[in-house]
Amino acid sequence: MRRPLGVILAGGQARRMGGGDKGLLPLGESSILEHVINRLAPQVDGLALNANGDPARFAAFGLPVIPDSIAGHAGPLAGVLAGLDWAAAQGCGHIVTAAADTPFFPRDLVERLMAAAMSSGMPITLAATPDVRRGRVRHPTFGLWPVALRDDLRTALEGGLRKVVQWTDHHGAAEALFEIGPCDPFFNVNTPGDLERAGRLMGQGAT
């Protein structure tokens, strides 16, 4: 399997942060989004940003900005679909998605998602971490997605489906398990308090 294309999902409304683009908030000497780009870009064969509204606000990053094709803030699956359509136009068979507000995700994310896909034979692979009460927690914004399912996803979204795991469970999804070290690799910035914590984690060498 050739390396997939990468799509950073930045289409959320950031209500708990007061609105706007969480990825553009400062973290250390750069922005959250810049940390995400620096982690994902070396792992993929090309990178795009899924975001709605005026793409000019992301011009400094030099990435293609692909908006949702499903209206009404349909959630992460709409961003996945936009990424799959973008990849299809380039003749690529898979994408890997990452959230724009999660600056510490694993530097071997793509490698391990692909390995889990190869060993399981499942069409979709999601990142997961261990959890004492639930066994595992899936992180559905971090996944390996096949372009071959894009029309099925489009039909599901047009029919009103919004829950990621509802669609992935229907098709079958493998899990790539990532251990939680000193820092949860999928810690994401949702609130001002989270942003302060991310700054402390950076100071402790989480990057």
| Whole-number pLDDT of residue 137 | 94
Specify the amino acid at residue 28. Answer: G
Q: Which domain holds residue 20?
A: 5-203
How large is the C-alpha radius of gyration of the chain? 16
| Whole-number pLDDT of residue 206 | 66
Torsion over CA: 173, 176, 181, 186 (sign): negative
* Model confidence pLDDT, tens digit, residues 42-64: 999 999 999 999 999 999 999 99
Other CB atoms within a 10 A radius of the CB of residue 78 amount to 24
**Could you say which residues of the chain have pLDDT below 50?**
14-18
Number of domains in the chain: 1
**pTM to 2 decimals?**
0.93
The CATH number of whichever domain residue 124 belongs to comes to 3.90.550.10
